[in-house]
């Protein structure tokens, strides 16, 4: 599934009780997201910008996506970079919601 298809989906509420994605499922979804990886059970990517202003503008856009989807990442902000990490706390692993939000962030950067 590519990021365009994922970005058209909406996150579904997850209160636990469902299994985390399997390695094969993660691999299939990861293939459609350029530059994203999985480490320590978290979907992550480092976004690098031209300056601090652009990095913070991106953080604000991430906040907007997070609010709309009710699915929130861990953000680490540097001078010109932002690390985004998604995982679904309620299931202790990755869910499709993590990949949906990652795809929506990719769509923000398409010019």
Q: State residue 56's pLDDT score.
A: 98
What domains, with CATH codes, occur in the chain?
1-6+52-111 (3.30.1360.20)
pTM (two decimals) = 0.91
3-state secondary structure of 13: coil
Distance (Å, whole) CA 83 – CA 19: 26
What tens digit of pLDDT does each residue of 42-58 get? Answer: 999 999 999 999 999 99
For the stretch 1-35, pLDDT in tens is 655 688 888 888 777 778 999 999 999 999 999 99
Alpha-carbon distance of 27 to 90, in angstroms, equals 21
SS3 46: strand
């Amino acid at each position: 599934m590519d990021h365009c298809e994922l970005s058209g989906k909406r996150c579904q509420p997850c209160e636990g009780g469902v299994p985390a994605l399997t390695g094969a499922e993660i691999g299939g979804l990861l293939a459609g997201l350029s530059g994203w990886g999985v480490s320590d059970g978290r979907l992550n990517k480092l976004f690098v910008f031209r300056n601090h202003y652009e990095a913070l503008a991106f953080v604000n856009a991430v906040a907007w996506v997070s609010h709309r989807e009710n699915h929130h990442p861990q953000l680490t902000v540097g001078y010109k970079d932002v690390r985004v990490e998604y995982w679904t706390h309620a299931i202790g692993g990755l869910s499709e919601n993590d990949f949906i939000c990652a795809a929506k962030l990719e769509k923000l950067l398409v010019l």
